[in-house]
Amino acid sequence: MHITMAVVADAANRTDNGKLNLLGVFHTLYALQAPCQHPHMSIVINFEATAMERGTRQKVGIRLVNADGKPVLQMPESFLDVPHDPTVVTPQLSLIANISGVMFETFGSYQFDITVGNDILGRIPITIARLAQPPGLPPPPPTL
């Protein structure tokens, strides 16, 4: 199995006919101060399985780590069932993980590590950057 797409977005959904909708894909979040909290984000991952993986169940993990590699957030494991369809050589699967209230303690680099089984198959970098405060305004509450 390998990853064909992995993004962070404001929101995502899948239609009844299988289309994937993404809203607000981003790599950088801006905040006036840290720590700060982001209200909601969606991690969207598309996978391509091999013919040998048809009919198997794959364990997927998502973990947010800071620049030092220390865990910030560990999502509950998800399981993807690869269809056993002999007419499809490389089955395509997608996963949408919705996350609310992520707290970022400092400005800087973070990344979402994506694992299948025990192997890291991909990473999604994200940066928390300082937004310049307009003059004369009081500091806002610590949210993004």
Looking at the DSSP bridge assignments, the partners of residue 37 are 103
How is the chain split into domains, by residue range? Answer: 2-130
Is residue 52 classed as helix, strand or coil in its secondary structure?
helix
The CATH number of 2-130, from 2.60.40.2550, 1.20.1630.10, 3.40.50.10490, 2.60.40.1120, is 2.60.40.2550
CA 15, 20, 21, 26 dihedral sign is positive
Query: How many CA atoms lie less than 13 Å away from 97 in the CB half-sphere?
Result: 23
Percent of the chain at pLDDT exceeding 70: 92
Choose between 142 and 43: higher pLDDT: 43
Q: Does residue 142 surpass a pLDDT of 80?
A: no
Q: Does residue 138 surpass a pLDDT of 80?
A: no
What per-residue confidence (pLDDT) applies to 50?
94
Q: How confident is the model at residue 18 (pLDDT cuts 50, 70, 90)?
A: confident
What per-residue confidence (pLDDT) applies to 113?
98
What's the residue count for the chain? 144
The predicted-structure confidence for 53-80, as pLDDT tens digits, reads as follows 999 999 999 999 999 999 999 999 999 9
Mean pLDDT of the chain: 93
Region 113-126: mean pLDDT is 96
For residue 12 the two structure tokens come to: 């995502």
pTM above 0.75, yes or no: yes
The predicted-structure confidence for 84-117, as pLDDT tens digits, reads as follows 998 999 999 999 999 999 999 999 999 999 999 9
Region 48-54: mean pLDDT is 94
Q: Does residue 141 surpass a pLDDT of 90?
A: no
Q: How confident is the model at residue 19 (pLDDT cuts 50, 70, 90)?
A: very high
